[in-house]
Structure 1
Amino acid sequence: MLPEDIGRLVTVGDPRVSPDGGHVAFAVTHVDLPGNRYRSAVWVAAADGSQPPRPLTAGDRRAGSPRWSPDGSRVAVTTVGEDGTCALEVVPFSVPGETFRVCERPEAFTDVAWSPDGTRLAFVSRERARRWTDGDDERSRPPRRIDRLFPRLDDVGWTIDRPAGLFVVPADGTAAPVLLLAGPPDHAGAAWSPDGGTLATCAARGDDLTPVTDVHLVDARAVRGPVGPRTLAAPRTSRTAPAFSPDGRLAVLTEDSFVWPSFSRLSVVDPATGESRSPATGPDLNCTPLRELLWDGDAVVVALEDRGDVHLYRVPAAGDAGAALLVGGRRAVTGYDLAGGTLAFTATDPGALPEVHVLRDGVERRLTSFGAGFHAAVPTGVPEQFTVPSPKGDGDLDVWLLRPARPATSEASGRTPVLLSIHGGPAAQYTNAFFDEFHFLAGAGYAVVWTNPHGSTGRTEAWAQEVRPPEADEVPGSGWGGVDADDVLAALDGALARDPGLDPERLGVLGGSYGGFLTSWLVGHTDRFAAACSERAVNNLESEEWSADVAGSFRYEMGVTHLDAPEVYRRMSPVTYVRDITTPMLLLHSENDLRCHVEQADALYLALRMLGKDVEYWRFPEESHELSRSGSPVHRVQRAQIILDFFGRRLGGRRPRITWDHPARTAGPADRPTDDA
């Protein structure tokens, strides 16, 4: 895979099953590299595979979020036009008629949900304050008043003057939407009660210094604007992803708001009394919120993270029966739905892009093959998965090793250079999914190694919480840069011991966000790497606490505040050890990154430069923390080329062809890749 092959990628997701179980609607997104944009449409497939999938939407508007009406005759979709105008539309499916627009807004529609009788649609969208109408130029608008924490969000921008509210609109478009519940703060989720009289949504509407997200119940029939909700609260517990059962119970995901990371777990709440019960879910695994929760009779279908896999389980809401596995295997489920006896899900594995699958009467069938064109044009390998002991002695590390089809072997040693990749989070996991980055690294001749160290999800909650500092008031651990650093080095050593063809003298390390932190940390504590790429990293934990969009929240992750214990934050900051860095470094950061502000890269770059260290620094304009995942296609390709060019010069891997204004364009012929490279 070459960097420009990013333009061939196609993603399939958000499957939704018609009420009778006969069809599956889903979203398909293509990368349009020449147009430097993403194109998406809603498709539909027969659940029994009797007919090939067909597009349900057409035109230049990006369409997604398909939602079937209760009778299955129509599908609501969201669209975005070339000018950025967002619309909620209804497409006829089993009835005659044309697609019509229910309403449009300058902000996106999320959490779209039909009322049980099919007459109304609920949704969440941002409501712009009056200052947004005072001209098109920010320089002419009045200043923002910041009167609470979390006034902005990465990849979204300022939210304090455009909070996400809960709306209801007639499904036939005969009236304007009604704002039922306004912000700030932001609301998420729109779950209808069985009688259509109540909507449940979630928001941290209390004290902004106490980050607890509660469920709020609001009258869905209100027609005169915002009304006061009834709140279902629990001490120090956040609740999200609400869904009503047919008999009126409310399923939610819950987690501890004061100890981060904490696992999301299923809970069932009685809306009348507020009392909750946590069903027996079996394994001590994290529920990942791929969608709003989904009832199946007297049980709830949830997605659990399990050692690199994401599986589906059916959890009985009553009694102590454990969870039943519905979808397993070495793969990651990315979306799912269930209706009419058909379980539809999108899933990917390390060697294949996501596709739509269905499970009917115990038989699984794949319905789509949108990735076939990519895989035919871009052959990719499949990693070997194995385990090595964690240095902490409390379990094995899952390790993956992707070998290149054409290794960039050294003439002297005949061995292959190695790149150690570290995921973000830390409360996340590398999944058994297709990850384009690993494949373009392997395509340049590198063996790629990755693991899920302590701090990752996919194992027990105690495993994830081990990276809390030893000074934490609750659940102390080894801190960032403790056992997690030991783990990733143990994984690398395990790969080197497993394959004598890997070159221990040509090692590189790279990672983004927390992975960027651990990259910066490692090179300040060991000189075994010949090159390192630290991307969108946390390099100064103290300033991260006041500069991030989630400023004020790291006290819950660290267990102490930066005001009471600044030495804890400084001790765990890579910039503290900058004098010990001898590894050549590549720093990448987005200028609109609000999660890890660009000052994090500036701080490390300035220190390295002042000390005369070997460092290269690239800043991407108009990009957020999500550059590598959903940034502009051109920037994603350029990012890949910068990474490969840097490691190519340091480790001897194949360097990419570059047509834009990059210093590599002036490199001598010996540095150029051959035509067949």
Structure 2
Amino acid sequence: MGNLRGYQTNDVYSIKTVSDPQISPDGDAIAYVVTTINRRANNYNSAIWLKNKHGRPSRITADSAKETQPRWSSDGNSIAFLSDRDGDSAQIHVISMGSNKIRKLSTFQKGALEIIWSPSGKAIMATSRINKGQNKSNNDPIVIRHLKHKHNGQGFFDGSHVQIFVVPTDGKKPKQITEGNWDNSQIDCSPDGKMICFVSSRHETRDVDIAQDLWIIPTKGGNPTCLTKRFGVVEAPIFSPDGQSIAFSGHDHPDDSAGRISKLWVLPSTEGKPKALSPTLDRSVASGSAMPGAVPSRFSWTPDGKALIARVQDGPNLHLYRFPINGDLESPIIEAKQCIEAFSLSNIETIACLITNQNKPPEVFLWENNKLLQVSHLNDKLFSKIKSPQIHDVKVELTRDIHIFGWIIKPLNFNPNKKYPLVLDVHGGPHAAFMNAFRGSYPMTLASMGCAVLQMNPRGSTGWGEQFSRYLGDGRGKRDFPELLQAIEYVSTEGWIDTNRLGITGYSYGGFMTAWAITQTNMFKAAVWGAGVANLYTHYAYTDNTSPRYPEMGGSPWENRKRYVELSPISYVQNVNTPLLMLHGEADLRCNPAQADEFFTALKYMGNETELVRYPGEHHGFRQNGRPSNRVDYDTRLINWFSERLQF
């Protein structure tokens, strides 16, 4: 125990990232993905691992490729997965559990995106992005005719669309069953194998709203049928065991989506109106993950079709709940101070879970007989050498009835008689939250070096109900920043925080808030902008995420110019005295690096201490899945900027 050390930036190279646990139909085995960093190649490798009920975990695919999405056949004899092992894009492969023989089933030019088995095991349904007409080179002109013409992480629209295919497992040629100038995704197959449900936006106003709809199409091909009409957000549809119903998550607000609660919905698989389960539950059903870049997790029907199992965000936690179809109240299955990142359900209702907490990365667990058993231990060796800092919950009373929540990460080997610097870390979104999930990277390293980190969830954050998450409206910065200042004041009353050594940082919306903060006060002695926004008036044209912002901001920039300018940090740039480090991906299409250029240029003209670092080829999510060396560089620069100016 005496040899324990603090968390270090380079530990990212040693962490094994576990994801996508898939339990076999009989519950006897769990397949999951393990991703590691290849430091020499400066990239990632992923492999499929298997844990049999009475055996040790073992790797069953290559560890020198990207192999993901393990999916069990209904008889449990095979696992389909995606792999780029042949040097091309991700293709469908199948491994036999008896012989470990692997067969390649596809040669999609742009690779497969998602896969599911047909119930008979004779085919795999897949999606792939298909070019209409001749492929173009990267040097050809880009012709833009639509508002939605770019997407962060993918680049500018190249004319291709995501289509659905039926891929025979006997090696015959895949059959494309959808076509047209729209994407089709999030597929599921009916129990009789005759229909596929999917999500698509085909309505006339799809270019200027976020509306999606649920569709079905015969697996043999034909005309698709729309089951909803410009519904809103539709995610992760799944057929009931008898095929008579389809469940999905989402909300029915196609024109005003910001901060909305995502509910579970059920409707007949032929036609009918979606019905919300637990309509009074003021918490969101989660279909994504608290870990950026992770594979989304579907919810599950129980084998008898009487209930749905889904994850629910409650504050900073992700719990597992049962939702009866008959209208009874939902009830918790697994509820604790942690995040269930993903899960899958067997035919005997045992559950494979991916669970993380504040101090440890996700690992695979088995829920059986009302008990949790840890299945994977891939990071135990690394973390047996690391001493974790103390993390204490923080509850700040804004008014008698309104509180905000978060936590403070205290410096390692904390001494209440000493004075420590504090960095305020602001989350993105704004409709997101700091979760009870592993927070490696710079917060843990800062604490290990002697600097406290405060992470709060002000109003506008998700997890505390729809009224809480929609509080910001057109008041970004003006409404939530004062709450963060109250949090700093609250934690400072304990007496060990040196209020003359305060810093602030944040990524995405947190970067915007960092810029806003240093234009409103000089209390911060150092600041680090991560992929932020300085000018809301120009941001609308730069981002790939434009239309959902308009209702929340009270209209478009040309309709409400005064408010956009009033809420933009660059409007107050002359007030800045805080040294600012700006870190931004050069291929970021969510918060375009032009935003950094605007703020940096203004600050430099006025002689401020400012430094801008641009990361070539990196998109908005590079801090989670960009080149490993750039992830480490980001954290190292941030830590050095604070340590030099806050003196720790």
User: Which TM class, normalised by the smaller chain length?
Assistant: over 0.9
Does the CA-based 8 Å contact 2:434-2:457 persist in structure 1? yes
Provide the residue aligned with 1:664 in structure 2. Answer: none
Instruction: Give secondary structure in 2 for the equivalent of 1:520.
Output: helix
- Offset at 1:394? 4.2
Cα contact 2:227–2:270 (8 A) shared by 1: no
CA distance in 1, matches of 2:40, 2:499: 40
Residue 60 of structure 1: how far off its partner (Å) = 1.7
Quote the Cα distance in structure 2 between the aligned partners of 1:542 and 1:447.
Answer: 35
Matched residue, 1:665: none
Question: Which residue of structure 1 lines up, in the alignment, with residue 291 of structure 2?
Answer: none
- Structure 1: gaps spanning 5 or more residues: 470-478, 654-677
Match of 2:467 in 1: 462
Quote the Cα distance in structure 1 between the aligned partners of 2:524 and 2:12.
28
Change (3 A) 1:387 1:354: same
Correspondence for 2:375 among 356, 367, 370: 367
Partner residue, 1:39:
45
Partners of 1:82 and 1:441 lie apart in 2 by 41
Determine the C-alpha separation between the residues in 1 that align with 2:263 and 2:562.
Answer: 34
Q: Which amino acid aligns with 2:78?
A: R
**Partner residue of 2:83 out of 76, 79, 85:** 79
2:68 alignment counterpart: 64
1:346 aligns with one of 326, 348, 354: 354
Q: 1:324 corresponds to which residue? A: 331
Q: C-alpha offsets along residues 602-644 of structure 1, whole Å, 9 cap, x if unaligned?
A: 1110111112122111111110001211110000111111111
1:495-541 deviations in whole A, cap 9, x for unaligned? 2223x222111000000001111111111111111111111002111
Among all aligned residue pairs of Structure 1 and Structure 2, give the percentage whose two residues are the same amino acid. Answer: 27
Who is 1:299 aligned against?
Answer: 307
Aligned to 2:93: 89
Give the corresponding residue for 2:429.
Answer: 425
Matching residue of 2:29: 23
Do residues 405 (structure 1) and 409 (structure 2) align?
no
Residues in 2 aligned to 1:559 and 1:299: alpha-carbon distance in whole angstroms = 40
Distance in structure 1 (CA, Å) of the matches to 2:357 and 2:533: 30
Match of 2:384 in 1: 376
Once structures 1 and 2 are overlaid, which stretch shifts more, 304-313 or 181-190?
181-190
Q: Deviations over 1:545-568 (max 9, x none)?
A: 111112333213323111211111
What is the CA–CA distance in structure 2 between the aligned matches of 1:131 and 1:249, rounded to whole Å?
40
Per-residue displacement from partner, 1:298-341 (whole Å, max 9, x unpaired)?
Answer: 1111111111111111111222x111101111101111001122
Relative to structure 1, the CA distance from residue 282 to residue 71 in structure 2 (aligned partners, 3 Å threshold; closer, same or farther) is farther
Residue of structure 2 equivalent to 1:175 = 172
Aligned residue among 141, 144, 150 for 1:146 = 144
1:253 aligned onto 2:249: yes
Q: How does 1:83-482 map to 2 (within 5 A)?
A: 83-93=87-97, 95-96=98-99, 98-132=101-135, 134=136, 137-139=137-139, 141=140, 143-172=141-170, 174-207=171-204, 208-222=207-221, 227-234=222-229, 236-247=231-242, 248-255=244-251, 256-259=253-256, 260-280=258-278, 283-290=281-288, 291-296=297-302, 297-319=305-327, 321-339=328-346, 340-390=348-398, 394-405=401-412, 414-437=418-441, 438-469=443-474, 479-482=475-478
CA distance in 2, matches of 1:235, 1:636: 39
The one-character-per-residue Cα deviations of 1:404-428 (angstroms, maximum 9, x if unpaired) are 215799xxx9411111101101111
CA distance in 2, matches of 1:183, 1:576: 44
- Matches of 1:382 and 1:251, distance apart in 2: 41
CA contact under 8 A between 1:281 and 1:315: conserved in structure 2? no
Number of aligned residue pairs:
625
Counterparts of 2:412 and 2:210 in 1: how far apart (Å)?
48
* Amino acid of the structure 2 residue aligned with 1:325: P
Stretch of structure 1 that moved more, 26-35 or 327-336: 26-35
Deviates more, 1:207-216 or 1:244-253: 207-216
- Following the alignment from structure 2 to structure 1, what is the Cα–Cα distance between the partners of residues 535 and 395? 32
Is contact 2:339-2:435 (8 Å) kept? yes
For 1:332, the aligned partner's letter is C
Distance 2:112 2:485 in 1: 44
Give 1:662's aligned residue.
none
SS in 2 for 1:388: strand
| 1:127 alignment partner, SS class | strand
Whole-Å Cα distance in 2 between the matches of residues 394 and 562 of structure 1?
Answer: 35
Gaps of 5+ in 2: 1-6, 289-296
**What is the alpha-carbon distance in structure 2 between the residues aligned to residue 647 and residue 156 of structure 1?**
33
Question: Aligned pair in 2 of structure 1 residues 70, 380: CA closer, same or farther (>3 Å)?
Answer: same
Q: TM-score if structure 1 supplies the norm length?
A: 0.89
CA contact (8 A) 1:545 1:553 kept: no
Other structure's SS at 2:266 match: strand
Partner of residue 294, structure 2: none
Whole-Å Cα distance in 1 between the matches of residues 488 and 86 of structure 2?
Answer: 46
Alignment TM-score, normalising by the size of structure 2: 0.93
The offset of 1:590, in angstroms, is 0.6
| CA-based RMSD | 1.9
Shift of 1:243: 0.3
The 5-angstrom pairing of residues 481-492 of structure 1 reads 481-492=477-488
Quote how far apart the aligned CAs of 1:246 are.
Answer: 1.2
Query: Are the aligned partners of 1:408 and 1:444 in contact in 2 as well (CA < 8 Å)?
Result: no
Q: Show the counterpart of 2:489.
A: 493
Contact kept, 8 Å, 1:546 with 1:552, in 2: the verdict is: no
Aligned-partner residue type, residue 628 of structure 1? R
Runs (4+) of structure 1 exceeding 6 A deviation are none
* 8 A contact 2:395–2:406 mirrored in 1: yes
Q: CA deviation at 1:43?
A: 0.7
Secondary structure of 1:364's counterpart equals: strand
Aligned partner of 2:543 in structure 1 is 548
SS of 1:201's partner is strand
Matched to 1:299, the amino acid is A
Kept in 1: contact 2:185–2:198 (CA 8 A): yes
Inter-partner Cα distance in structure 2 for 1:84 and 1:641? 34
| Deviation of 1:41 (Å) | 0.7
CA 258–57 in structure 1, closer or farther in 2 if over 3 Å, else same: same
Letter of the 1:200 partner, please give it: C
**Equivalent position amino acid for 1:273 in 2:** E
- CA shift at 1:129, angstroms? 3.8
Name the aligned partner's letter for residue 459 of structure 2.
H
